[in-house]
Amino acid sequence: MSGRLEAKVLVVTGGTQGMGLAFAQRAATEGASVVIGARDKDRGEEVAAQIRKAGGDALFVPTDVTVEEEMARLVDSAVSEFGRLDGAFNNAGGGPMASVRDADSADWHRSLALNLTSVFYGLKYELPAIIASGGGAIVNNASVSGVKGDATQAAYNASKHGVIGLTRSAALDVARSGVRVNALVTGLIDTPLWQNVVSQAPSTAERYLSVQPTGRAGTSDEVAALTTFLLSDEATFISGASIAIDGALTA
C-alpha cells in the first residue's frame, strides 16, 4: 500500500460522501492517514471503519465545519493522534440556492457559513499545524460558480468566489513557509447532492446537463485524483492557483 500520499497525515472535511469520501478512500489506499470531519457520527464511524478494514489508516472526528471550536478540535485531533499534519482537503459545502431577489437573510448566512467561513476556520488552524510539521499543502473545494456565476445561486456564488479569493490570500501569506494552498474549480460532479437534484428536480438537472461540453457530469474519483496530485510532492511549485475540473465548462 503506497503512493504519492504515502505516510502523510491529511484532514478531510465532508469526508463521508461524494468528493470527500472518494478522496479519503484514495488517500488511505496510497498510504496516508486520513482524519475525516463531518456531522453524521454514525456515517463517519462507518466510513473510517471501512477504510481501516481495507488496510488503511483513518480517524473520524464529529465536526460541524461552521463552528470554529470544532474545526480547531479536528486539527488538534489529527496532530494528537498522528503527531503532525501534512495537508488538508477543505471540501465540505452546499446549502440553499436561490436568486438575489428570492433568498432570505437566513439562507445567505447559512450558505456563507458552510461554504466560506468553514474554509477560513480550516485554514486558520491547519496552516500553523502544517508549518509546525515542516510544510505541506491544502486544497480548498470551490466551484465553477466561483468564476462563472448562476442567477439562481446568489449566496452560493458569492461564497465560492470568496473561497477562491481566500485561497489566493492564504497562499501568499505562507508562500515562504513551505505550505501551498490551491483551490479546485469543480464543475458538475456526480455526487449524492447531484443525484438528489436528478430525483427531486429533473428539469433543473436536464438544464445543467444540457450545457456540459462533455455531455456528462464528472466523477468524485476524478476530483480525488486531481486533489491527490495537488497534495503530493509532485506539485511543489503550484500554489495560489484555482484549477478547473469542469469538463471545459469555463474554458
Catalogue the active-site residues: 156
**DSSP category for residue 144:** G
Please, which contacts does 57-64 make with residues 24 or more away whose CB atoms are closer than 8 Å? 57/28, 57/32, 57/33, 58/24, 58/28, 58/33, 58/34, 59/33, 59/34, 59/35, 60/35, 60/36, 61/35, 61/36, 61/37, 62/37, 62/38, 63/13, 63/37, 63/38, 63/39, 64/39
In this structure, what DSSP letter does residue 246 have? S
CB 140 within 8 A of CB 161: no
How far from the centroid of its chain's Cα atoms is residue 175's Cα?
Answer: 21
What does the block give as the cell for 104?
Answer: 432570505
**C-alpha cell of 149?**
456565476
Query: In sequence order, what are the beta bridge partners of 138?
Result: 88, 181
- Closest by CA to 178, choosing from 242, 84, 245, 92, is 84
Cα distance between the two ends of the chain: 37
Helices then strands (H, E): number in the chain? Answer: 9, 9
